C-alpha cells in the first residue's frame, strides 16, 4: 500500500508546528502523539475508547481544538492523542473539511476536483 503524506501546519494559542503527516482515510480524526500534544500544550477536553489495528483497546485523550492549515485552507478540529510516540495521522474527517482528495497516481494530497485519477473522500 502506498503511503500519502500531507504537509500541514497546526496552531494552538501562540504555538505553531509544521509537519508532514500520514494520510489515513480509514481513520476519522486528526491524531497526534503525547509528545506533540505537550509541544503544543493542548488541553484535554474529553476521553474516548479506541481500538488499535493490533486489536488492543485503550482509553485515549481528546485535546484541542487546534487550527489546521493545509495549502490555503484552514479548519478547526479536536485531536485524538495517541500514546507515547505512536505515529500520527490525518483522518477522513479533517480531509473532508479541507476539501482534499487523494491523488494515488501522484502519491499526494490535492484540492478536491473532478480530475481523473483521484480518490474522493
- Host H or E run for residue 78: strand 73-82
* Residues whose CB falls within 8 Å of the CB of residue 73, separated by 6 or more in sequence, listed in order: 98, 99
Q: Domain 5-120 - what CATH class? A: mainly beta
- Strand 44-51 versus strand 57-70 pairing type: antiparallel
All structural domains of the chain with their residue ranges: 5-120
* Residues whose CB falls within 8 Å of the CB of residue 30, separated by 6 or more in sequence, listed in order: 66, 68, 77, 78, 79, 80, 88, 89, 90, 91, 93, 94
Q: What is the C-alpha to C-alpha distance for residues 90 and 108, in angstroms, rounded to an integer? A: 13
By mean pLDDT, which of 48-52, 58-62, 90-94, 111-115 is the weakest?
A: 111-115
Q: What is the pTM of this model?
A: 0.86
In tens, the pLDDT along 82-114 reads: 998 889 999 999 999 999 988 888 888 898 765
Amino acid at each position: 500500500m502506498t503511503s500519502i503524506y500531507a504537509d500541514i501546519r497546526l496552531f494552538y494559542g501562540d504555538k505553531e508546528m509544521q509537519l508532514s503527516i500520514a494520510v489515513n482515510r480509514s481513520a476519522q480524526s486528526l491524531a497526534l502523539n503525547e509528545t506533540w500534544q505537550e509541544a503544543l500544550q493542548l488541553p484535554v477536553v474529553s476521553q474516548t475508547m479506541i481500538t488499535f489495528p493490533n486489536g488492543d483497546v485503550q482509553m485515549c485523550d481528546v485535546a484541542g481544538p487546534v487550527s489546521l492549515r493545509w495549502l490555503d485552507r484552514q479548519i478547526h478540529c479536536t485531536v485524538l492523542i495517541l500514546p507515547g510516540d505512536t505515529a500520527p495521522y490525518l483522518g477522513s474527517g479533517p480531509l473532508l473539511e479541507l476539501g482534499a482528495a487523494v491523488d494515488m497516481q501522484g502519491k499526494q494530497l490535492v484540492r478536491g476536483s473532478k480530475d481523473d485519477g483521484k480518490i474522493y473522500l
